[in-house]
Chain A
Amino acid sequence: MASYIIVGMIGVLLLGFWKLQVIDADKYTSMAERNRVREIPVIAPRGRMLDRDGRVLVDNRPSFSVLLLRDDPALVEKYLPGIADGIGIPLEDLKDQLSNTKNLPKFQPIIIKPEASDADIAFIESHRSDIPVLEMISVSRRRYLPNGFLAHAVGYVGEVSEQQIESSNGKLRMGDFAGKFGLERQYNDILIGTDGKRRVIVNSVGKEVGRLSTQEAIPGKQIQLTIDYDLQQVAEQSLGARPGAVVALDPRTGEVLAMASHPSMDANDFAVRISAEDWNKLNESTEHPLMNRAIQAQLAPGSVFKIVTATAMLEDKVPPESFTTFCPGYGTFYGRQFKCWVYYAKTGATSHGVTNLHEAILKSCDVFFYNVGMRLGIDRLSFYGSKFGIGHKTGIDLPSEEPGLMPSAEWVERVYHRKWYPGETISVSTGQGAVTTTPLQLARMIGGIATGGVFKQPHLLKDAPNVGEERFPISESTVEKITDAMYGVVNESGGTGGQLRLAGIEFSGKSGTAQVIGYDTRARFGKQKQFEDNAWFVGYAPRRNPDIVVSVLVQESGKHGGEAAGPVVRDIIKAYYDKKAKKTQGQYTADYKGDDAGKGATAAAIVAPRVALRQENASAVAPARATPQR
């Protein structure tokens, strides 16, 4: 009987094996395969960003992330204190990270330290055999220029949001990095590349022990920007610590040569993983360091708007060109007194006397433009302002651009359901009231008017296809008079930018000093910084068909536009011509010497790439200056 029991027992066991090994073999084979084989993404490095001369503005640096393999919880438990010690993370933090990721599949390792230090790497390498649950992966991190250089235009990357994952058609996964702001976001599709994958064999702890196949990552494409590193440098330094913005454009092409916004942020802080605390600090700061003021600050343009009023007057001949006013320091319209800035001027004079259009632009006389505005009416002002781009996005290749606002009778009707008050026209004619613009819009506008009414779409991508262009032809005589007046602002006596003169360069422009609140209200609130005037200066050179136009905003400076913003414009324009002179003087072969200096800006793009980050020393440049175009 014992024999039968033995045979029966072995028979039953064999049946059990038959079930597993023959009947269910396929099921267990695929389970074993799933155990053994794991797909690991090979992260594609993002494309670099170069300046117009090929100098590196944004690139990548290799880095290591520390991974914790969670396949075997008992092992993780056992080694956790040692790991906490070794790589300097409090044990509590590690435990938190583990419990936060409880719902992820066990085979998915978690990143416990995104940025491994040299000491961490040494620790992991030396404990390879005795701490089996630690692993490193190499990643490439974005490296931006330090101190927030060009930070707002370039933008930053961050871990993708759920929205981005959904809209990417499966291209992005949790934990991937993608552009979040600025050019990083705008050209994310070009920059991002395609991740590869590695099929590897892992052991029961989750450690890689062999490789089956590798699909290489395709690196992202690099993009060349229209930014000129040298001009950007000058823009950043010249604006300095003051809140504000700088935009430099080549109005002939729409290329953005420099773009700065202060206060800035260091995007390198975002390249790894920003702590919630730091993020909130940036986000909630009253100084708004995350805002790109060049395209997002919508502020009253102040007297810069007088160019719109003046152009409208000359084009429509209302009032006629010979129109003059007497400025006693104020004007009374519709029973209300509107002061001219000269009334408050520190120079002692309280009157502009009798002025014509040319003088009114030079001295920025408000009373003259109040009268012109009253005669033109809001419809004409609104028509011209709108044609010059106020209230419309310029279409620059950056996300989150703001349109500004060109008020009109139709607009108050639609938004406030009321009639337009004629008194509002008086404010708008000098760039106060509801009219708001961005620094970029003003650069495009002044550049376009000085070019005779050709408005190129501003852009940051060099050799961009399909650069948009708007044409609003302005008669030659109007352009001549307006540009002569703006030349006078800098170069004639009495001009508001008189101190900005540059020898040998037809530096022209218009200042603006926009009140944040009315003069009377300010008197009540006292001298609080946040109610100080915003200073504007939009300058260009040469006088007509300019090579470069620069718009500068200095916020809450409490100073006049010509004083606070003007020098920044001058520095950039000077640097532009210094550089051009250097090119034509020394660095070209004989073939190039014959070239028209006026093409300097485009020629500069052909220069061979130089070592990045080497600062151009403006003072060391050859003394010869470029000959302005006549």
Chain B
Amino acid sequence: MKDAPGTRDYDWWLLAILAAICALGVIEIYSATHGSSLAGMHMKQIRWLAIGFVLMFALSRLDYHLILDQAPILYLVGLSALVAVLLVGHTHFGAKRWIQIPAIGELVQVSELVKLIIIIVLARFFAEVRSDQLDLRDLIKAALLVGIPLVLILKQPDLGTALVLMPMLVVGAFLAGLQWQHAAVFSLAGILLVGAVFYPPVSRRILKPYQRDRITSFLHPEDDAKGSGYQLLQSKIAVGSGGFWGKGFGNGSQNQLGYIPVRYSDFIMSAWAEEQGFKGVLLALGLYMALLLRLVQNAQRAKDRAGMFLVMGVAAALGFHVLVNVAMVIGAMPVTGIPLPLMSYGGSATLFVFLAIGLVMNVRLRRFVN
């Protein structure tokens, strides 16, 4: 084992940004729930954040090379967990996504853990491709590594989480020297797939009814002012009515009166935008931008390819989360059920982010060591 790095080597800027985003989240969770039957949720979130910080520091102490060595085992554990979910998982909101940890009794959303494992597995895989160009065989191998858990997650069904695996693969492949011919072919396949999803005769076969509803209501929100189109419309009304200055903490009518769907979780940005206005959005998105840029910087300073792939995998996952969630809040994307990292309430999702940041710290701590 290498020498333990000192506390000065932690990325304190990254931690500060992280803490600021978490604070915004806790404030808005409090505002969205304090007057309702969900009151007290912000305290639960603080608890998750505390656990997250501890896990983050713990993970950062363990050399990431050791973790990468165990990648195949982690991968198998992840797949088994996914299969277990399908067999004995708990069903909420019409999907089987949770499994109960026997000792603690908490429900854990397994796919969040799998995201982390996929980041590790892909980092190891791409790090071992020792050429400047990624050939087709390796690309297909990588795609299969991602594809198997992706299909299992789709089975739950959880389209949102499944989608998050894609940018990890894409970013990794690019950094590993993806050839433009391959890129073209894969892009075309991707475009066809997206097209199929939006094309009713095909989507009828491959999507669940609720997923089709989300697509339709995204395309024609007015037709279905009370279904899932309603959620997008109400979110847009909340955001728009916030104006530049916002309605003030605890004063958003869309938020306080419950017009915004799951306002404390997936749509927390909507509640924030209503109460804090464009200036608040500027602050929040500014912090996310800083976070992502800081991650990229850490990736560039990584000691080895594996470290770089790890950090960029995390950046890709978080960036994709932010993009898809915020685009949904402003009505530019269908409802996918992807939370906003660190602001949305949720145990598993929060822990995933902290563990991911833990990996980043891990890489950073060891940038000078050898």
Report A-chain residues with C-beta under 8 Å of the C-beta of B312: 2
Decide yes or no whether B289 CB sits under 8 A from chain A.
Answer: yes
Question: With A31-B237, A35-B254 given, is the CB distance from A22 to B278 under 8 Å?
Answer: yes
Decide yes or no whether A73 CB sits under 8 A from chain B.
Answer: yes
Contact A32 B241 (CB under 8 A): yes
Instruction: Please indicate which of the listed interface residues B277, B289, B312, B323 has the most CB atoms of chain A within 10 Å of its own CB.
Output: B289
Decide yes or no whether B365 CB sits under 8 A from chain A.
Answer: no
Residue of B225, B226, B319, B331 near A6 (CB, 8 A) is B319
Q: Mark B29-43, 1 if CB is under 8 A from A, else 0.
A: 000000001000000
Residue of A2, A17, A28, A32 near B315 (CB, 8 A) is A2
Report B-chain residues with C-beta under 8 Å of the C-beta of A22: 243-244, 278
A203 to B254, CA, bound (A): 9
Contact B236 A201 (CB under 8 A): no
Residue of A9, A17, A31 near B273 (CB, 8 A) is A17
Contact A13 B285 (CB under 8 A): yes
Report A-chain residues with C-beta under 8 Å of the C-beta of B296: 2-3, 6
Contact B226 A13 (CB under 8 A): no
Q: Mark B266-293, 1 if CB is under 8 A from A, else 0.
A: 0000000100011001100110110011
Contact B253 A35 (CB under 8 A): yes
Decide yes or no whether B330 CB sits under 8 A from chain A.
Answer: yes
A33 to B259, CA, bound (A): 12
A31 to B299, CA, bound (A): 45
Report B-chain residues with C-beta under 8 Å of the C-beta of A32: 237-238, 240-241, 253-254, 259
Residue of A2, A27, A204 near B257 (CB, 8 A) is A204
How far in angstroms is the closest Cβ of chain B from A368? 83
Question: With A17-B278, A201-B253 given, is the CB distance from A28 to B239 under 8 Å?
Answer: yes
Decide yes or no whether A606 CB sits under 8 A from chain B.
Answer: no
Contact B254 A17 (CB under 8 A): no
Report B-chain residues with C-beta under 8 Å of the C-beta of A72: 226
Instruction: Please indicate which of the listed interface residues B234, B243, B327, B331 has the most CB atoms of chain A within 10 Å of its own CB.
Output: B243
Decide yes or no whether A18 CB sits under 8 A from chain B.
Answer: yes
Contact B257 A20 (CB under 8 A): no
Q: Mark A190-215, 1 if CB is under 8 A from B, else 0.
A: 00000000000111110001000000
Q: SS class of chain A's interface: helix, strand, loop or mixed?
A: helix
Q: Which residue of A lies closest to B282 (CB)?
A: A14
Report A-chain residues with C-beta under 8 Å of the C-beta of B330: 13, 16-17, 19-20
Q: Mark A16-60, 1 if CB is under 8 A from B, else 0.
A: 111111101101110111011000000000000000000000000
Decide yes or no whether B326 CB sits under 8 A from chain A.
Answer: yes
Residue of A16, A106, A204 near B225 (CB, 8 A) is A106
How far in angstroms is the closest Cβ of chain B from A127? 14
Decide yes or no whether A10 CB sits under 8 A from chain B.
Answer: yes
Residue of A2, A21, A73, A203 near B226 (CB, 8 A) is A73
Contact B293 A6 (CB under 8 A): yes
Decide yes or no whether B51 CB sits under 8 A from chain A.
Answer: no
Decide yes or no whether A7 CB sits under 8 A from chain B.
Answer: yes
How far in angstroms is the closest Cβ of chain B from A130? 10
Decide yes or no whether B258 CB sits under 8 A from chain A.
Answer: yes
Contact B240 A27 (CB under 8 A): yes
Report A-chain residues with C-beta under 8 Å of the C-beta of B52: none
Contact B315 A35 (CB under 8 A): no
Contact B257 A209 (CB under 8 A): yes
From residue 306 to 328 of chain B, which have CB atoms closer than 8 A to chain A? 312, 315, 319, 322-323, 326-327
Contact B323 A13 (CB under 8 A): yes
From residue 113 to 130 of chain A, which have CB atoms closer than 8 A to chain B? 129
A76 to B164, CA, bound (A): 35
A13 to B37, CA, bound (A): 32
Decide yes or no whether B172 CB sits under 8 A from chain A.
Answer: no
Contact A25 B244 (CB under 8 A): yes
Contact B258 A205 (CB under 8 A): yes
Report B-chain residues with C-beta under 8 Å of the C-beta of A16: 326-327, 330, 332
Decide yes or no whether B242 CB sits under 8 A from chain A.
Answer: yes
Report A-chain residues with C-beta under 8 Å of the C-beta of B273: 17, 21
A36 to B331, CA, bound (A): 21
A22 to B242, CA, bound (A): 9
Q: Please, how many residues of chain A have a CB less than 8 angstroms from a CB on the other chain?
A: 37
Q: Mark A466-478, 1 if CB is under 8 A from B, else 0.
A: 0000000000000
A96 to B140, CA, bound (A): 57
Report A-chain residues with C-beta under 8 Å of the C-beta of B240: 20-21, 24-25, 27-29, 31-32
Contact A21 B277 (CB under 8 A): yes
Q: Please, how many residues of chain B have a CB less than 8 angstroms from a CB on the other chain?
A: 42
Instruction: Please indicate which of the listed interface residues A33, A36, A106 has the most CB atoms of chain B within 10 Å of its own CB.
Output: A36
From residue 200 to 252 of chain A, which have CB atoms closer than 8 A to chain B? 201-205, 209
How far in angstroms is the closest Cβ of chain B from A463? 52
A492 to B37, CA, bound (A): 88
A29 to B241, CA, bound (A): 4
Report B-chain residues with C-beta under 8 Å of the C-beta of A74: 226
Q: Which residue of B lies closest to A209 (CB)?
A: B257
How far in angstroms is the closest Cβ of chain B from A325? 87
A71 to B257, CA, bound (A): 13
Q: Which residue of B lies closest to A36 (CB)?
A: B253
Report B-chain residues with C-beta under 8 Å of the C-beta of A73: 226-227
How far in angstroms is the closest Cβ of chain B from A573? 68
From residue 221 to 262 of chain B, which have CB atoms closer than 8 A to chain A? 225-227, 234, 236-244, 253-254, 257-259
A3 to B319, CA, bound (A): 11
From residue 128 to 158 of chain A, which have CB atoms closer than 8 A to chain B? 129
Q: Which residue of A lies closest to B226 (CB)?
A: A73
A3 to B234, CA, bound (A): 33
Residue of B237, B288, B315 near A10 (CB, 8 A) is B288
Q: Which residue of A lies closest to B312 (CB)?
A: A2
How far in angstroms is the closest Cβ of chain B from A212? 12
A59 to B174, CA, bound (A): 83
A35 to B257, CA, bound (A): 9
Q: Which residue of A lies closest to B316 (CB)?
A: A2
A270 to B2, CA, bound (A): 91
Contact B278 A35 (CB under 8 A): no
Contact B243 A29 (CB under 8 A): yes
Instruction: Please indicate which of the listed interface residues A9, A21, A74, A201 has the most CB atoms of chain B within 10 Å of its own CB.
Output: A21
Contact B258 A6 (CB under 8 A): no
Contact B289 A28 (CB under 8 A): no
Report B-chain residues with C-beta under 8 Å of the C-beta of A20: 236, 239-240, 330-331
Contact B289 A7 (CB under 8 A): yes
A209 to B253, CA, bound (A): 11
Report A-chain residues with C-beta under 8 Å of the C-beta of B326: 13, 16
A276 to B244, CA, bound (A): 56
Contact A17 B281 (CB under 8 A): yes
Report A-chain residues with C-beta under 8 Å of the C-beta of B293: 3, 6-7
Residue of A3, A21, A129 near B239 (CB, 8 A) is A21
A182 to B319, CA, bound (A): 75
A409 to B347, CA, bound (A): 100
How far in angstroms is the closest Cβ of chain A from B308? 11
Report A-chain residues with C-beta under 8 Å of the C-beta of B332: 16
Report B-chain residues with C-beta under 8 Å of the C-beta of A19: 330
Contact A9 B282 (CB under 8 A): no
Report A-chain residues with C-beta under 8 Å of the C-beta of B289: 6-7, 10
How far in angstroms is the closest Cβ of chain B from A104? 14
Residue of A6, A25, A27, A203 near B292 (CB, 8 A) is A6
A204 to B230, CA, bound (A): 11
Contact A17 B238 (CB under 8 A): no
Q: List 14 A-B contacts (CB under 8 A).
A: A2-B299, A9-B319, A10-B289, A10-B292, A13-B326, A21-B240, A21-B277, A25-B244, A31-B237, A32-B241, A35-B237, A72-B226, A203-B257, A203-B258
Nearest 4 pairs between A and B by C-beta? Answer: A28-B240, A32-B241, A204-B258, A20-B240
* Contacts beyond the supplied A14-B285, A21-B239, A25-B242: 12 A-B pairs with Cβ under 8 Å: A3-B293, A9-B319, A9-B322, A13-B322, A13-B327, A16-B330, A20-B236, A20-B330, A21-B278, A22-B278, A25-B243, A204-B258
Residues of B at the A interface (CB closer than 8 Å) are: 37, 225-227, 234, 236-244, 253-254, 257-259, 273, 277-278, 281-282, 285-286, 288-289, 292-293, 296, 299, 312, 315, 319, 322-323, 326-327, 330-332
